[in-house]
Amino acid sequence: MKRMSARPVCASALTDAHVQNVFVSSNTQASPALSDVFARLECEVNQFQSASQTPEARAAALATVDQDIDAAKRLILSMLTRRNMLAPISILPAEILARVFHFAAFSERPYSMGWVNVTHVCRRWRQTALDDSTLWAHFLDFPRNKEWIAERLSRARNAPLTIDLDESMDKDTFSLFTPHISHTRELYLRNLSSFHPKIVQKISIQKAPVLECLELSMSGTAPMGKHHSFFKGPLPKLRTFCISQILFPWSSVPRGQLTQLKVTLNEEVSTVTSKGSRHDDLKQLIGLLVDCPSLEVLTLENCLPSMLSESSGQTIRLPRLLHLCLGGSSSRVMNLLKMLKLSSFTTLRLNCTSENAATDNDYHILPFLSSHFNDPTPVKFRSFKINLDDVDRGIAVVASTSLPTLPTPYTDSDPELSLSFNHFAELSNRMNILRQACDVLSLSNLEFLSIYFPSPNQVINWREIFRQCTEVTTVRVQGRGAIGLLQALMPLKHARGIRGKRKRGDKGRGAQVQAPVHVPVFPKLTSLLLETLDFTAAVPGAGVVYDLVLSAVQLRKANRMPLETLCIDACVIREKQAKALEKVVHDFRWDHDEGYYCDKEGDREDYHDYYDFGFDDYDDYYLYPETDHPGVGWGGPHNVVGISLAQVLAEIQSEW
């Protein structure tokens, strides 16, 4: 039998010429070349079937058919490419298309690479994405696949990189980035564990001429290796330098172009140089700040040299500083403040730790605040928040020239002043700080006041402290210790004249001795917000808290100072008490949480029985499980106090 040719006649049906003719044709109908292909295929199929009778012929024909299938696929892809070229989006220039890809890449979650799907849409989109190296220049913790990281580094080429990694990245994967430090623009290494200092040292021997932002943090305090600096050679473009939990000499910090400098430690230690000279350490810090006049943000927490406990006459000018955050012993914070020459618009965040007991150093900061916020023009604060926390035996105040905004009305985005003192043995010391702070700050325009004070049975003259705050319209009271402020809100009736002894010349009339008029604080008060209070708790001389609140509302209304809004949240209150208050206030808001109490058959279990285990100061942590600090939230889900005791008993009975 005659051996069949290796390529049947049908293989000639799909030639490159046919493919080219089909691709370049601009007719919307089927092109003549394509019609000719279909006709020849249909004609040659019958001949092909009759010719492939032996196994050898069928094998050769099968190989030929596979080649024809590949040619057909190329033809279809060419047709799809032609169709994509006619789509309206294909008119966009590559630069605009790449810009759209950037929006897609940076609008999703940081650890997601879902935007890569755009490279699978068509050939042009893929090529556009591959040509833009900046699309591949951002690296986060996810994904961690080494091959994928290497591929993205290759696609990024020499584009400036942003590398943001944490302790979850292993050393082998981390080493992939080391050769690319020379063209890294932003480097964030967060919460590195004990074995990562070797990685930091390996990186530090690299050159980083384009580095603009550096942030390093350890999970535990670790000293930097001897004779090590942050990178080899100068860092001419470095603007942001943030170091946390790493001990290092101040002389190793790059200087000259910094706009942000943040150095933080969890606990205050004596930071010394390799020579062990604390005096040199102070000189290095002063020299660093002097050499960085362009600083806009400065944060130094628990890292101030111990020599700052002594006064220094040197002046450090930081005319562009917008935000200053200092933390540590009161004496160190105060003495550094004395050196700094700041502009009047610099916001302050001062976290002071009292040394042993309240000292003069704690109070010396207050005159500095008066000078800073009153020279040359007094800063008029509109919002003032007070936190008297017995856990840390501290006091914190936040003052802002702007009012809190909804939906989180108790968080200031950027207050002008945040001041805190910790480790005061006596409440009286904290109250003295508060009184002096209210005196030195301009609070005459104050409109919003918030007080968190969980300690009960503390008598505080709130009326005297806030006597100058006549413009307040909204007061937030949180915690049992702030109940006394409710009494100050209550206007007292004018005492009648008391007839005294007659004197000559008074024509028989007794001298009229007028008793002092008790004007309530906050005469313009319209909104009262009450949180974490027990309305059934007794108040000496005023019945229970409910009676005090009801009387205050009624008396203010009678004296033409009515409350328009009353909010009750996370409080122990009976439903009938809430309904009674609703009748006397135009805008009444209640979270419908009655708290823990049982009122069945006249027996009431005291709310405090459920929390009186020796940790009264921690009550509000249970009332606000979704927050890190007590008294921060408002209106959130209070899962602990959200079910009354009656509801709990009902659920138990239903289970049985």
Domains of the chain, residue spans: 9-86, 91-131
Average pLDDT over residues 490-494: 61
Give the pLDDT band (50/70/90) at residue 280: low
Q: What is the pLDDT of residue 412?
A: 61
User: Span 512-523, mean pLDDT?
Assistant: 60
Residues 549, 534 contacting (CB under 8 angstroms): no
Q: Coil, strand, or helix at residue 27?
A: coil
Per the structure block, which two tokens stand in for 382? 């509109």
CB 546 within 8 A of CB 535: yes
Helix (H, G, I), strand (E, B) or coil at 549: helix
Cα 244 to Cα 223: distance, rounded to the nearest angstrom: 11
pLDDT score, position 608: 38
Average pLDDT, integer, range 416-445: 86
Q: What is the mean pLDDT of residues 285-298?
A: 93
Average pLDDT, the chain: 76
* Per-residue confidence (pLDDT) for residue 503, from 0 to 100: 47
Residue 609 to residue 615: CA distance in whole angstroms: 12
226's CB contacts (< 8 A; 6+ apart) are 274
Strands 347-353, 417-422: pairing is parallel
231 compared with 578, residue with greater pLDDT:
578
Please state whether beta strands 316-318 and 297-301 pair in parallel, antiparallel, or not at all (unpaired): unpaired
* Token pair recorded at residue 183: 């063209």
Taking Cα atoms as reference points, which of 104, 150, 199 lies closest to residue 187? 199
Residues paired with residue 528 on neighbouring β-strands, in sequence order: 475, 566
Instruction: Assess contact for 213 and 240: CB atoms under 8 A.
Output: yes
Any residues with CB less than 8 A from the CB of 531 and at least 6 apart, and which? Answer: 476, 477, 478, 479, 568, 569, 570, 571, 631, 634
Tokens at residue 464, please? 């005297």
Residue from 489, 653, 627 nearest 566 by CA: 489
Report the 10 Å Cβ neighbour count for 241: 22
Do β-strands 448-452 and 383-389 pair in parallel, antiparallel, or remain unpaired? parallel
More confident residue, 240 or 84: 240
- Spatial CA neighbour of 8 closest among 62, 71, 75, 69: 62
Neighbours of 449 (CB within 10 A): 23
Place of tokens 């003192």: 421
Stronger pLDDT, 495 or 404, i.e. the higher one: 404
pLDDT in tens, 603-639: 444 433 333 323 233 233 222 233 333 333 333 333 3
The rounded radius of gyration (Å) of the Cα atoms in the chain is 38
Tell me: pLDDT of 281 over 60. Answer: yes
Of 44-48, 286-290, 488-492, where does mean pLDDT reach its minimum? 44-48
Least confident of 27-31, 165-169, 596-600, 636-640: 636-640
Residue 476's beta-bridge partner residues? 450, 529
Decide if pLDDT at 542 tops 80: no
Look at 186-195, 223-232, 416-425, 529-538 and tell me which has the smallest mean pLDDT.
Answer: 223-232
**Is residue 365's pLDDT more than 70?**
yes
DSSP-assigned letters across all residues of 617-648: GGHHHHH-TT-SSTT--SS---TTTSS-HHHH
- Residue 259 DSSP one-character state: S
| Confidence band, pLDDT 50/70/90 cuts, at residue 89 | confident
For residue 170, which of 195, 148, 201 has the smallest C-alpha distance? Answer: 195
| Predicted local confidence at residue 184, as pLDDT | 95
What is d(CA 178, CA 200) in angstroms, rounded to the nearest whole number? 10
Q: What is the pLDDT of residues 98-119, one digit of tens each?
A: 999 998 888 766 556 778 888 8
Q: How confident is the model at residue 41 (pLDDT cuts 50, 70, 90)?
A: low
pLDDT in tens, 177-234: 988 999 999 999 888 876 566 777 777 788 889 999 999 888 877 776 554 567 888 8
The residue type at 88: P
